[in-house]
Amino acid sequence: MLAQPGAKLYVVQVYNVYTKAGTMIKVDHIIERESKAFLEHHVAQIEHKGVEIVTKTFKGKLVNTIDLVCKAFDIDLIILEPRTNSIKDEVYLGKTSGKIIKQTNIPALIIPEGYVFKPISSILLALKSAIIKKKEALTTLKTVKDDFNSVVNLLLVKTPFYNEGDFDVTIELKNIVTSITKSENPTTYQGVLEHYKTTNPDMLCVVRRRRGFFGKLWEKNVVLKKDFHISQFPVLVLSGLK
């Protein structure tokens, strides 16, 4: 979706093997071979002109392995589906995807199931604090905006954790956004629920924080659809701004 000509896309599958003591057969190479074939079969069905796609399989614990892969290949963005292995229709964000979002520091893009690509014309950026200390924090958002010539609408939500200066918008952020709306709600998430229909965004952009957008929703690494009423469009999760 965000891959540009000249980009490199890694399609990765992480597996782990638990065998009983005394088991004679070595299954690692079998799983690795089948995983690789599975990935290559799906990649072969994708139109990826100008984009290099590399398939990789790794053995290890999911989050730790993904962290190592991101560092080794200098990954800019993780793209994932909400439910990697949950078959429950009521689940929006499954345990595996939830762990990846919550425990990694790479920007991530959640693509909803059944999503049909369309240009990202409008983006809703929801923040409880506009303080930006990390230079590269907005890089991914700026890339999307520039690629699609998107309009970025900033929603500043005053929560009980508000501190003086949280709504002071930096020059860098002002140069990205088209409009600024302020709201007062118990959480950033509730602020989004109240205001997102006003801008009708093609993408929601939030920030990964301990008490951020998904703070309550992700306590157990799973987000239910009944708790997340805006699951029809992609969600870009940025790493911390501070």
Tens digits of residue pLDDT in 34-51? 777 878 887 787 777 777
Both tokens of 51, joined, read: 């984009």
Residues 6+ apart with CB under 8 A from 33: none
Is the separation of the CB atoms in 59 and 190 below 8 Å? no
Please tell me the distance from the alpha carbon of residue 194 to that of residue 190, in angstroms, as a whole number: 6
* pLDDT tens digits along 96-115: 666 777 777 888 888 887 78
* pLDDT tens digits along 181-220: 999 988 888 888 888 888 889 999 988 765 455 555 545 5
Specify the pTM: 0.77
pLDDT the model gives residue 145: 94
Please tell me the distance from the alpha carbon of residue 14 to that of residue 59, in angstroms, as a whole number: 6
Both tokens of 128, joined, read: 């409880």
